[in-house]
Amino acid sequence: MAKQSLFGNRVFRAIIISGLFLQIGIWVRNFAVLLYVMEQTNGDAFAVSMISVAEFTPIFIFSFIGGTFADRWSPKKTMVWCDILSAISIFAVIATLLFGTWKVVFFATLISAILSQFSQPSGMKLFKMHLSEDQVQVGMSVYQTVFAVFMVLGPIIGTFAYQSFGINISIAVTGIAFLLSAAALTFLPPDRELEKETGTTLWQEMKSGVKYVLGKKELSLLGLCFMAAGLGVGFIHPLSIFLVTEQLGLPKENLQWLLMVNGAGMILGGAAAMMFAKKVAPQRLLVFGMLVNAIGLAVMGYSTNLWLTLTAEFFNGLMMPCIQIGINTLILQRTQEAFIGRVNGILSPLFTGSMVVTMSAAGVLKEQFSLVAVFEGAAVLFIIGMLVILPLFKQKEQQHAVSVND
């Protein structure tokens, strides 16, 4: 029997279509909330950084718990119900916004971020269950390219929705998009029985997940790399809008153009990754991506020239798929199916927890030092992350040399 093609795979198609709807909702929500908070607070750096904290703190708190339940629960049902509950929470936020304080917009991000910690590892598990070994990296390349396309389209859609219809309609669009994502996931095949650890409690399964990660060198090194990258991203994520308004002296709405250039780079990077996915080891993708992103962040921090900043942003986008595809492919390749949720739930908080720490401090550090100093610090942390993962890269090269000699 011939092997099924990637795009002929029912599971892969359903996840990609679901991802399209989710990206529409998320980008409309993110830009609507960002621009709304900027207007309500007159551009207060602390308030803007708290948007990112609301988005990423739940990942740190709930990721391990969500990943453990993902190994227990049926993935299709988990993903569908998470999208439905996210939509319900969004509509509740609209109702509260109509009669209460504007600060409730933070909950539009917070609640769906919590639920995604149960849904996202289930999606990873479906990749592991239904894609062959040689399809995983190509599948991840396609998945990341979808994200890249919305780095271009998302800011345009989000800004247009908020400026044309206001915060209430924009948040409503997010809720509808989540419902459409749930509808797309209903086309997944029925869940099959999962292999479960019999006679174990949730706490015991969480401990076995930690032991599993610590027992595999590749996963432990990925964890350290995650921490360094998370610290770096946390510095720059909430302050990118000030790169536009202060370093470049442009109105805040021009953030969308930087993100579009970054997204264009991501599209090209994702397309290149799809072409070479079977030829380039994920370790090589990860190391090279970390190095180029470090250089790009250093340039962006110093630049006061729009075109130089756009060029650095483009190369950052070009290499971002290398990092994301490399990391996700390594996790899927080196992890048993029964532990996918827990491994994802352990590694994600290492990244996100580190990111939340520096996000929380980013606004204060910007005021105490400078925007330039914050971006250069982020670049150094990416270099550290690259150095951490080098032993894994060398290990792969040694294994390749041995196989050639044999």
* Tokens encoding 308: 């130089």
Handedness of CA 31, 35, 38, 41 (dihedral sign): negative
Q: What would the mean pLDDT of 160-188 be, rounded to a whole number?
A: 92
Q: What stretches of 186-281 show up as alpha helix (H) in DSSP?
A: 202-214, 217-236, 240-242, 255-276
Q: What is the pLDDT of residue 290?
A: 92
Q: How many residues does the chain have?
A: 406
Spell out the residues 6+ positions from residue 1 whose beta carbon is closer than 8 angstroms to its own: none
Contact between 318 and 292 (Cβ < 8 Å): yes
Contact between 169 and 161 (Cβ < 8 Å): yes
Q: Is the pLDDT of residue 399 over 60?
A: no
Domain range spanning residue 84?
10-186+205-405
Spell out the residues 6+ positions from residue 261 whose beta carbon is closer than 8 angstroms to its own: 310, 313, 314, 317
pLDDT digit string (tens) for 142-151?
A: 887 787 788 7
Single out the residue of 235, 112, 222, 219 nearest to residue 175, CA to CA: 112
Q: What would the mean pLDDT of 378-400 be, rounded to a whole number?
A: 77
Q: What would the mean pLDDT of 329-339 be, rounded to a whole number?
A: 84
Q: Is residue 193 part of a domain?
A: no
Contact between 185 and 177 (Cβ < 8 Å): no
Higher per-residue confidence, 127 vs 194: 127
Q: What is the pLDDT of residue 384?
A: 93
Q: Packing angle between helix 282-302 and helix 306-334, nearest 10 degrees?
A: 150
Q: What would the mean pLDDT of 319-333 be, rounded to a whole number?
A: 83
Q: Is residue 129 part of a domain?
A: yes
CA 296, 300, 301, 304: dihedral to nearest 10 degrees? 150
Spell out the residues 6+ positions from residue 357 whose beta carbon is closer than 8 angstroms to its own: 231, 234
Other CB atoms closer than 10 Å to residue 114's CB: what's the count? 20
Q: Is residue 192 part of a domain?
A: no
Q: Is residue 106 part of a domain?
A: yes
Q: Is the pLDDT of residue 322 over 50?
A: yes
Return the percentage of the chain with pLDDT > 90, whole number: 18
Q: Is residue 248 part of a domain?
A: yes
pLDDT tier at 198 (50, 70, 90 boundaries)?
Answer: low
CATH number, domain containing residue 44 = 1.20.1250.20
Model pTM? 0.73
Task: Indicate the average pLDDT of the chain.
Answer: 82
Q: Is the pLDDT of residue 84 over 90?
A: yes
Burial class of residue 195 (count of CB atoms within 10 Å of its CB; 0-12, 13-18, 19+): exposed
Q: Is residue 69 part of a domain?
A: yes
Q: What is the pLDDT of residue 161?
A: 92
Q: Report d(CA 44, CA 46) in Å as an integer.
A: 6
Spacing of C-alpha 26 from chain mean position: 12
Higher per-residue confidence, 103 vs 326: 326
Contact between 209 and 343 (Cβ < 8 Å): yes
Amino acid letter for position 203? W
As a whole number of Å, the end-to-end CA separation of the chain is 32
Single out the residue of 177, 228, 250 nearest to residue 350, CA to CA: 228
> What's the total number of domains in the chain?
1
DSSP 8-state code for residue 290: H
Contact between 62 and 114 (Cβ < 8 Å): yes
pLDDT digit string (tens) for 262-305?
A: 878 888 888 887 777 677 888 888 888 999 999 999 999 888 88
Q: Is residue 354 part of a domain?
A: yes
Q: Is residue 3 part of a domain?
A: no
Q: What is the pLDDT of residue 199?
A: 60
